[in-house]
Each structure stands twice: as structure tokens, then as C-alpha cells.
Homo-oligomer: A and B are copies of this chain.
Amino acid sequence: MQEFLANGYAATSMDRVAATAGVSKATVYSHFQDKASLFAALVQELAEEKFRTVFDPRDHNALKGEPRQVLSELAEKVLDDAAQDSQFCEFMRLIVGESGRFPELAAPYVQNVAKPLLDALARYLASCPELQLADPEATARVFIGTLIYFVLLQRVLGGKDSLPMESDRIVTTLIDLIVPA
């Protein structure tokens, strides 16, 4: 996986995969039918790992409580995840970059990672009477979309230097828009 994350699908050779794994190429081919199958298996495994992270049992009760607090913690969690875990950006590059040629890999990611997160947030937003939201589902997309775009621009596309912006301003602005004063 580390080879695919670093080089993308096409630029990753099975020689390097085997070398990095510490086995011979024939051994790799005894476990996986071909390069595409290996890639699919690795990506799906990583996607399931991300899925378990999003649905961390410890955070099962995270989306309960006072809106400003809950939304602030969720935003920090997503941004910290993206900032610390360098895999996050590489995985984003891979899944977006290969989504045209491997739509069967992008689909489970949307279904198992993006959808559960959006659904959980939408349910929480809908459960807060004080928010008075006309469309919680769309509001959840505004929230997550703003955060993902921030990570995309600052870290994935390297806008950190040329287009500086503190993440705190994004979070504060987002919460002030959603939670009435």
C-alpha cells in the first residue's frame, strides 16, 4: 500500500511492491491474481480502516450535547486527522486520482466513509431543536464540505504557503453560521 500511496497505481511496479514487501514477485502473484486485484484489495482494506476510525466505538456518544461544543470537536477531529495523518492526503490523492479508472473503489469509499459521517452529522443536526435547520442533510454537507475543501486546498494541493488561512477561522465561521447567536 505504501508504494501505491506514494506513486499512484500506474507508476507503481510489481517489482517495487514485492521488494518493499520483502518477498519475490512470484509470491505476490500467488496471493493475488494481478496488479489490479492487489490494488483493489489494498484500497478496500484501507477504506475499511478509515471506516472504523470514523465509527470509533469510543466516540459513539460524541455527537451528543451542546451544538457549539459538538461541532467544534468534530471539526478539530477531522482537521487534526488530516494534519497529522500524512496518509490522509495521500489516500485522497489516490482515491480521487484513480476514481476515473477504478470507480468500483471510489464507490465503497463514498458508501462506507463519507455517507456514514454525513448521515450521523445530519441526524445530530436534526436532533437539535435550538438549531431550527430547514435542511439538516444539506447543512451536514456544508459542514463536512468546508472542512474537506480546506484540507484539499491547504495540504493536498499545497496552498498552505501561497494561500494561508488558519483552521480556527474556518471552524469559528462555520459554527457561527450554523448555530444561532
Contacts and interface: CB of A to CB of B under 8 A. Distances in A.
User: Would you list the 9 A-B pairs with minimal beta carbon distance, nearest first?
Assistant: A97-B97, A145-B149, A10-B10, A10-B11, A138-B173, A145-B146, A110-B159, A138-B169, A96-B96
Given A111-B162, A138-B173, A146-B142, A7 B157 contact: no
Centre residue among A114, A144, A145, A169 by max chain B CB count within 10 A: A145
16 contacts: A8-B10, A10-B10, A94-B97, A95-B157, A96-B152, A99-B156, A106-B156, A110-B153, A110-B158, A110-B163, A118-B163, A141-B153, A141-B170, A142-B170, A146-B146, A149-B149
Contacts of A135: 169, 172-173
A70 to B, nearest CB: 18
What secondary structure prevails in chain A residues at the interface with B?
helix
Size category of the A interface is 35 or more
A162 B115 contact: yes
User: How many copies of this chain sit in the oligomeric assembly?
Assistant: 2
Given A93-B97, A142-B177, A146-B146, 11 more contacts: A9-B11, A93-B100, A107-B162, A114-B153, A141-B146, A141-B149, A141-B170, A145-B145, A145-B147, A145-B148, A145-B149
